[in-house]
Amino acid sequence: MPERPERPLSGIRVLDLTNVLAGPYCSYHLMLLGAEVLKIEQPGKGDLARTLGPDPDLNKEGIGASFLAQNSGKKSLVLDLKDPDDRADFEELVRGADVLLENFRAGVMERLGYGPDRLRTLNPRLVNCAVTGFGQTGPMSTAPAYDQIIQGLSGMMSITGTADTAPLRVGFPVCDSLGGLGAALAVSAALLGRERTGHGARLDVSMLEVSLSAMGWAVSNYLVSGVDPEPMGDQNATAAPSGTFETADGGLNIAANRQEQFHTLCRLLGLPGLVDDPRFAEREARKNNRAALNAELSVALRQKTASEWEEMLSVAGVPAARVLTVPEAVELPQLEHRGFFTDLPYPDGSGRSLRASGNGVLVDGEPLRPHAPPPLLDQHGEDRADLISRWRARPQRAVPALGS
């Protein structure tokens, strides 16, 4: 099992009440950055993701593929927050925590007796982060939401696909992932701010708002210029040629977004005449004549394989790469070189090897790796007393009065 190195968030303790994806994805990033993450799970159930995934046997064991993907390196403790003894232990953990992360519907924590005021009383330095579909306030705040709901409401599905196929769901839970990343960023910033003020913070993360923010130009072009974005399939609305093209053996993405890249592309494809063609000579002209330009390029691109074009164009400074399947992508030598994946044992003791992802960040040249496999449900229940004692043993700093 990999040794746990010093990381930017080493020493930070995260009490994680989340389940499924957005919240666990947040705490997974915090774990990779060095935090100690303790999952608080419901008796007999645990994280819903424990029963989700394509392998029914893993689901039955409570270690479904969806759970395994986002929970390496964490601890699991079962607590019933309606039981007086468990509530007392939970409150001791809150007192020793740096971060409390939850993704219940708005109002649930308040009904459990752990609203923001109560948590602040227990621990004024606590960073209290809630990740929900719509945020803690507003007319939709109590509505249920999963990733697909947010994809539809955000307008994301309306611009995914082509004019004939849209609206389409993006092929992975992008809104959940964005919500988790947004929460991890906010938590990290709040921890830094706490060092300056001595006070924790209440963070209210809306997946809908984070997703709209991440849609970038699709939203801002409408807000600024009144341009209603349309589904364009594999084409890029901001430039041409920029999209997917067929080669002798498969798809190739090309993004010749700059004038010099377009000139180089035409030269390497043996089509120098396109550079002076008034339909394609300038950026806006190319966008207005996209279909004609793509037709010209496609004839030439079918003369070589995607790999041949990728190497030739990339060396010459034209962004180009094959369109891969997921099994092909995870075997890229680039990922192996960067140490993106880590092999861990399955938590069930079967001896099988589990491949866990990193987060694409190197710290001082080293990849951020999970240090332990995902936990079984209540795997650390026997250590409850020691966990509570250790978390509470840390000296508490004096907290200045609010506004001081």
Residue with tokens 């079962």: 78
Active site residue 176: yes
Q: Give yes or no for a contact between 300 and 271, defined as CB atoms under 8 angstroms apart.
A: yes
Q: Please give the radius of gyration of the chain, using alpha carbons only, rounded to the nearest integer.
A: 25
Distance, CA of 392 to CA of 92 (rounded, Å): 7
Distance, CA of 402 to CA of 404 (rounded, Å): 6
Contacts 24+ apart (CB under 8 A), 236-243: 237/287, 239/283, 239/286, 239/287, 240/283, 240/286, 240/287, 240/289, 240/290, 240/293, 240/294, 241/265, 241/286, 241/290, 241/293, 241/294, 241/297, 243/294
Q: How many residues does the structure list for the chain?
A: 404
Work out the angle at residue 118's Cα, subtended by the Cα atoms of residues 117 and 121, and round it to the nearest 5 degrees: 90
DSSP string of 3-31? -----TTTT-EEEE---SSHHHHHHHHHH
Distance, CA of 244 to CA of 322 (rounded, Å): 9
Tokens of 237: 């609305």
Active-site residue identified among 176, 277, 343, 378? 176
Q: Give yes or no for a contact between 77 and 40, defined as CB atoms under 8 angstroms apart.
A: yes
Distance, CA of 163 to CA of 191 (rounded, Å): 45
**So which residues are the catalytic ones?**
176
